[in-house]
């Protein structure tokens, strides 16, 4: 059996962490939905930068936009391109959305990374994108910064589906889960609301492993490649406390669903580790794993499936304690990771706008020459 399909039997949804115009038009995404059980798509500025900025796939769409809007700003061009991709993906996944009664089949679109410390700006852009895309299976991605967490609550209260992203720590998770619960309480139709808490995994090992290697010694080196998974397992245990006990019962009675934990950044960054480790070690019920294409193919080929997320929670707790005993501040490291994540999305976003500006100027110059305008 396809290991990706086996994940479904464990209660885990598989989302594709990738989007590009060709897979939407040539049937590739539809095949992944039908054959692999892919039930969602996530996007971010870095993904769009590679898709649009590093290919010619969008050149005709850019030309069409400029023909219709020759005075249009580059931000409007960017929005037109990504909204079209998101709509195409959402339409492909609509059957999943309808077949799961609105619990799956989502496509995520992120607000500008430059709004990560601006709650009002985030609210305004999230509302605008929600109306512009106009698909029930859209999720608006909002970063889990201190400044934007109130915006998450407000959007949810308004009935807008939210993918809260760039979480690296238990503190990040608890703040986001609290915002979800408060937003859910205020929402008039909580049974129609969906949200995921995107918790980043492999980057934690990248950051902490460097500290451990610099520290040296048997105790430190024994923790290499273990902290990201331990951190994730403890976060999932907190999810269970919040959403699987009596405290969530009143909302369940109103038809509301828990805010699933979504494992993000699950490609293996260190070639010394198994290429599917961050999929294999975090398999559990009511979760999502958003997987980039290379890791998806690797897991389809040789992934091993079992209820690993529920295994050895005491061992995970011990590893976090051992990290602390070595004087390594995991909370400080995860705060750095969140800021680095914001920067890693802002840079490709700006790069893409620069590329689009260059393409726009070149195409407009070409149009001007052909029309005889100097």
Q: Provide the annotated active-site residues.
A: 141
Q: Residue 258 class from Cβ within 10 Å (0-12 exposed, 13-18 middle, 19+ buried)? A: buried
CB–CB of 326/300 below 8 Å?
no
Task: Give backbone dihedrals phi and psi of 206, rounded to 5 degrees, phi first.
Answer: -60, -45
Q: Output the DSSP codes for 143-169.
A: E--TTTHHHHHHHHHTT--EEEEEE-S
Copy the structure tokens of residue 60. Answer: 């005709």
Handedness of CA 143, 169, 196, 288 (dihedral sign): positive
Handedness of CA 28, 51, 265, 13 (dihedral sign): negative
Residue of 147, 141, 143 whose CA lies nearest to 129: 141
Rounded Cα gap, residues 200 and 45, in angstroms: 16
Rounded Cα gap, residues 374 and 283, in angstroms: 62
Copy the structure tokens of residue 298. Answer: 């690797």
CB–CB of 135/91 below 8 Å?
yes
Task: Give backbone dihedrals phi and psi of 39, rounded to 5 degrees, phi first.
Answer: -130, 20
């Amino acid at each position: 059996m396809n290991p990706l399909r086996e994940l479904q039997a464990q209660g885990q949804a598989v989302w594709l962490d990738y989007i590009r115009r060709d897979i939407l038009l040539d049937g590739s995404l539809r095949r992944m939905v039908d054959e692999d059980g892919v039930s969602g798509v996530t996007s971010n500025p870095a993904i769009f930068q590679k898709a649009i900025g590093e290919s010619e796939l969008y050149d005709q769409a850019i030309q069409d936009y400029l023909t219709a809007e020759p005075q249009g700003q580059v931000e409007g061009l960017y929005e037109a391109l990504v909204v079209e991709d998101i709509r195409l993906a959402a339409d492909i996944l609509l059957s999943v959305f309808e077949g799961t009664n609105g619990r799956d089949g989502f496509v995520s679109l992120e607000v500008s990374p430059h709004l990560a410390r601006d709650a009002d700006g985030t609210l305004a852009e999230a509302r605008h994108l929600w109306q512009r895309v106009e698909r029930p299976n859209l999720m608006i991605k909002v970063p889990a910064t201190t400044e934007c967490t109130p915006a998450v609550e407000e959007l949810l209260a308004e009935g807008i589906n939210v993918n809260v992203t760039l979480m690296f720590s238990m503190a990040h998770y608890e703040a986001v889960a609290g915002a979800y619960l408060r937003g859910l309480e205020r929402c008039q139709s909580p049974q129609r609301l969906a949200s995921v808490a995107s918790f980043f995994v492999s980057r934690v090992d990248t950051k902490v492993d460097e500290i451990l290697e610099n520290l040296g010694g048997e105790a430190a080196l024994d923790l290499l490649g273990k902290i990201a998974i331990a951190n994730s397992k403890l976060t999932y245990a907190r999810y269970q406390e919040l959403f699987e006990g009596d405290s969530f019962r009143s909302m369940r009675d109103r038809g509301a669903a828990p805010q699933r934990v979504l494992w993000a950044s699950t490609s293996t960054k260190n070639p010394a580790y198994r290429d599917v480790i961050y999929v294999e070690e975090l398999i559990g019920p009511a979760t999502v794993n958003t997987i980039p294409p290379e890791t998806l193919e690797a897991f389809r080929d040789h992934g091993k499936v079992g209820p690993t997320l529920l295994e050895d929670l005491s061992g995970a707790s011990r590893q976090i304690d051992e990290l602390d005993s070595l004087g390594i501040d995991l909370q400080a490291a995860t705060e750095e990771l969140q800021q680095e994540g914001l920067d890693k999305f802002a840079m490709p976003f700006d790069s893409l706008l620069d590329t689009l500006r260059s393409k726009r100027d070149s195409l407009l110059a070409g149009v001007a020459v052909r029309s005889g305008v100097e």
